[in-house]
Amino acid sequence: MKNLPQIPQDFQDKTVLITGAGSGIGQAAATLFARRGARVAVVDIQTEGGRETVARIRAEGGTAEFFEADLSREEQVESVVARTVAVFGGLHCAFNNAGISPRPGPFHELALTEWERVIAVNLTSVFLCMKHEIRHMLGAGGGSIVNTASGAGFVPAPFLPHYTASKHGVLGLTKVAAKEYARHHIRVNAVCPGVTATPMMEATLAQRPDMKEMLAGTVPMGRMGEPAEIAEAVLWLCSDAASFVSGESMAVDGASVCR
């Protein structure tokens, strides 16, 4: 980072692939990793957001490329991982974060198509990303992966059975891979954000403005989290400072789900 020499450059030799990096938590993580010296593969289905993230990083002197992909499609995931390695010469860390927040509704009225859409984007995409990232990392001698789950990965979110199931599933995939690949020097962890002030959350609150105070009231700290606060936890989990941490599901939620 040319403009900010005082910031530690502990990711200087690392390439990080970040999904959903065109907005919210993914964008905050992409910016943070780049400031710490990483080369960042910015992956998103939305061109505008992805390009904006790359522009922000480059404006600060960092290194990033945008790769457009629908991560629920295996051929697109495979291509993004291959292009990341081709452009940057490696893949050391991955933050599988892209996701959608569906409209709440009664369980017994949930359409199969809506169930399948949420599972495809929130769970199948994480499976596909991990599969192709791990293939590369096995050949390269190791790596570190962080997946985004949610408080809904630990506890049920009523009226959101599809979202709840997808995020419980992300924690399951995280733990399986952590066990399977521990001896191959691949660490796999999950971050579980609480209510966080991102465009996803803003879209929800635009439909139900009354929910803002109610949601903040459910957080013991009395406020929503900021995307940068989630990004800091992801950076630490990816870093060598977390070298003995794998299979962990880290809540970053102002003490919301602990018991």
Ligand X SMILES: NC(=O)c1ccc[n+]([C@@H]2O[C@H](COP(=O)([O-])OP(=O)(O)OC[C@H]3O[C@@H](n4cnc5c(N)ncnc54)[C@H](O)[C@@H]3O)[C@@H](O)[C@H]2O)c1
SS3 128: helix
Neighbours of 79 (CB within 10 A): 14
- The catalytically annotated residue of 163, 178, 237, 251 is 163
- Tell me the per-residue interface mask from 30 to 49 with ligand X, x by CB under 6 A, - otherwise: --------------xxx--x
Stretch in the footprint of ligand X (CB under 6 A) among 2-10, 23-31, 86-94, 237-245? 23-31
Q: Which amino acid is at 24?
A: G
Kindly state whether residue 200 participates in binding ligand X, applying the rule CB under 6 A.
yes
Least spacing, CB of residue 242 vs ligand X, in Å: 20
φ/ψ region of 200 (left if φ > 0, alpha if ψ in -120 to 50, else beta) reads alpha
Give the CA radius of gyration of the chain: 17
181 flagged as catalytic: no
246 scored as a contact of ligand X (CB under 6 A): no
We find the least distance from the C-beta atom of residue 3 to ligand X, in angstroms, to be 26
Q: From the CB of 22, what's the least distance to ligand X, in Å? A: 4
Q: How far is residue 115's CA from residue 253's CA, in Å, rounded to a whole number? A: 26
Sequence-ordered alpha helix ranges (H) in 24-124: 24-35, 47-59, 74-88, 112-119
Residues near ligand X (CB under 6 A) are 19-20, 22-26, 44-46, 49, 69-72, 97-101, 121, 125, 148, 150, 193, 195-196, 198-201
Residues with catalytic roles: 163
